[in-house]
Amino acid sequence: MRRPPMALTAHELAEIERANQSGRRPVVFVHGLWLLSSSWDRWRARFEEAGFTTIAPGWPDDPESIEDARANPDAFAEKMVQEVTDHYLEAIAALTTKPAVVGHSFGGLIAQKIAGVGASVATVAVDPAPFQGVLAVPISSFKSSAPVVSHPGTSLKHGVTLSFEDFTYGWAKALEEDEARALYDEFHVAAAGNPIFQVVTANLNPFSETKVDSKNPDRGPLLIIGGELDHTVPLKPTEQAFKIQSKNPGITEMVVMPNRGHSLTIDHGWAEVAQTSLDFVTRVGALAVPA
């Protein structure tokens, strides 16, 4: 039986209150597997310098720090895509101004689910995990997910920590080893295995929680960003997601970041990806707050 979702934490409520008091348009940042919300800190500073306010809720039960996360990897266990989406929708419902949403990896999938229910004014999905209907599954995706799918008895019940070798292949293949090691040491935490199984079985399950309403006319402008060298979410499924989303009447754009892998939101080139995202949400009018 699935556990009831954890309510917003005191820290998340404080961030929401700060955003509401700012009078600015909020941007909600959604992290994916193997990261914490603190991975967005540099992005948040850049967006706030540009005139936005920001919040970065965690997934339900996320530890407060990297140290806490590594001491208790099972804190991440048994999370499901809709449970996490509902947690972010709860945070968005507490905002007084409709936000823009930016997500990476599974956070990019969740960002599109949020857009699909009309809860974002503009959305950026970076290297997004595939939603139901995206059929391409390149070999590198299978290899990147192997630490989870090859051990279902463990990964469905416990948090899964990647080895440095697995992290290098899935996240940091485009980086020098020294930078890959630094990112692994600074950012990597355990993750739930369930969402990966949900994606793997999505097109066999008509009730999959990875379903996205790409046709909703209230979806709003959407930018999808892909990393050219990403092994975890290669360009083929990202391009298919863009093709499906392009049928929406709203603005739909795609940008490919050359020579970038799945670590593109946290590695040495993060600022280029952040600026591309910021330029989009600003250009489509998200910065202005209705009087």
* Residue 5 resides in a domain: no
Spell out the SS3 assignment of 171-229. Answer: CCCCCCHHHHHHHHHHHCCCECCHHHHHHHCHHHCCCCCCCCCCCCCCCCCEEEEEECC
The letter for the amino acid at 178 is D
Q: Could you read off the pLDDT of 247-268 as tens digits, one per residue?
A: 999 999 999 999 999 999 999 9
Can you give the pLDDT at residue 145? 82
CA quadruple 240, 119, 30, 176: dihedral sign: positive
* Residue 74 resides in a domain: yes
Spans of the chain, pLDDT less than 70? 1-6, 142, 291
* Residue 251 resides in a domain: yes
End-to-end CA distance of the chain: 45
Sheet holding 26-30, edge to edge: 53-55, 26-30, 100-104, 122-126, 222-227, 252-257
Q: Are strands 122-126 and 53-55 parallel, antiparallel or unpaired?
A: unpaired
Q: Could you give the 3-state DSSP secondary structure of residue 44?
A: helix
* Residue 290 resides in a domain: no
- Max distance between CA atoms of the chain, in angstroms, equals 53
Can you give the pLDDT at residue 207? 86
Closest to 254 measured CA to CA, from 239, 232, 236, 234: 239
Residues 237/136, Cβ–Cβ less than 8 Å: yes
* Residue 4 resides in a domain: no
Q: Is 57 left (phi over 0), alpha (psi -120 to 50) or beta?
A: beta
Q: Could you give the 3-state DSSP secondary structure of residue 268?
A: coil
Residues 160/115, Cβ–Cβ less than 8 Å: no
- CA pair distance 47, 50, nearest whole angstrom: 5
* Residue 166 resides in a domain: yes
- CA pair distance 245, 252, nearest whole angstrom: 7
Residues with Cβ within 8 Å of residue 26, at least 6 apart in sequence:
19, 52, 53, 54, 55, 95, 97, 99, 100
* Residue 81 resides in a domain: yes
Can you give the pLDDT at residue 6? 55
Q: How many domains does the chain have?
A: 1
Can you give the pLDDT at residue 66? 95
The letter for the amino acid at 86 is D
* Residue 60 resides in a domain: yes
- Domain with residue 84: its CATH number is 3.40.50.1820
Can you give the pLDDT at residue 201? 85
Range of the domain at 16: 10-283
- CA pair distance 82, 210, nearest whole angstrom: 8
Q: Could you give the 3-state DSSP secondary structure of residue 286?
A: coil
Q: Alpha helices, DSSP H only, in 23-138? A: 41-49, 66-71, 81-93, 106-116
In which element (H, E) is residue 155 found? Answer: helix 152-155
